[in-house]
Amino acid sequence: MLVLRALVFGILYTSVTRLQNIYVQSENISNGKYAKQSSTFSNKDASRALNKSFVSSGTLTKFASPSWWVVDLRGYFTVSSITLTAATDGGWNIYMRNAFVEVMDKDVSLCPDVQSEWCGNVSNTVTGGQEFTFTCNATFPVRFVRVTRPSTTNTFLVIGHVDVQGEGAKKPYRSYYKPLKNKKVSQPFLTMSAMTAGDCGIICHRCNSCIDFSYSAVSPADENCLLSDQIISGPVDNDTA
């Protein structure tokens, strides 16, 4: 009997410990992070959606199509759930209707080879303070969470609060960079704009397809950063760095 009791106690203790570990590891990873949106109406900037004290009025974009909001988690995470809470003031809650949520590994405005995963969308009826929780099955480490309100005409996007639950993950970088001068990409897969060679290297590092790059200080500003999906061993160009 004593052996049986010890066995049952051990199983219960292990189960509780596992639950506690899951609870501790999953946390609000969006708190205090950097957020931006397609536009800002009045003083209702994107950061308000990450501060629950502003949940009543939230964040508000200008009249546009589409309207979007995104948070940079400033690191890579495995996301377990994302909860959107509708604002409660002035009937603005209706401007979260049909918004959809997706997660990405990179900023879509910086590089085209973004991995993304659709997580779900808000219903077409939203009441003030209503919460919508979505689970994401992304197979890649996530850095950005984006909320978009699609529309064929101009519209607002209003979000009372955003809570992103998850835990840290490692990003499997594939970028390749050797700090050599006088090299040139003969057939770039992407032409970008950069202020310096260092900035060009950062752009390459953020793009999964890029493994090498060249930068020219004398080329037009909108095509001075050339990205390659192959290691550069081509002709020398004294204008590159």
What percent of the chain lies above the pLDDT cut of 90? Answer: 48
**pLDDT for 41-91, tens place per residue?**
999 999 999 999 999 999 999 998 889 999 999 889 999 999 999 999 999
* C-alpha to C-alpha distance for 239 and 152, rounded to whole angstroms: 46
Lowest mean pLDDT among 26-40, 84-98, 157-171, 193-207: 193-207
Identity of the residue numbered 148: T
Residue closest to 193 by CA, chosen among 114, 111, 115, 70: 111
Domain-wise residue ranges, the chain: 27-168, 173-241
Q: Mean pLDDT throughout 19-43?
A: 78
Q: Mean pLDDT throughout 214-232?
A: 79
Confidence of residue 152 (pLDDT cuts 50, 70, 90): confident
Confidence of residue 231 (pLDDT cuts 50, 70, 90): low
Residues in the chain: 241
Q: Is 22 exposed, middle or buried (0-12, 13-18, 19+ CB in 10 A)?
A: exposed
If you average pLDDT over every residue of the chain, what do you get? 81
CATH class for the domain made up of 27-168: mainly beta
Q: Mean pLDDT throughout 182-192?
A: 69
* C-alpha to C-alpha distance for 241 and 221, rounded to whole angstroms: 15
165 to 23, 47, 87, 134: CA distances (angstroms): 10, 17, 20, 10
Q: Is pLDDT above 60 for 234?
A: no
**Residue 6 has what pLDDT?**
47
Q: What is the CA radius of gyration of the chain?
A: 23
Is pTM beyond 0.75? Reply is no
Q: Is pLDDT above 50 for 178?
A: no
- Three-state secondary-structure class, residue 206: helix
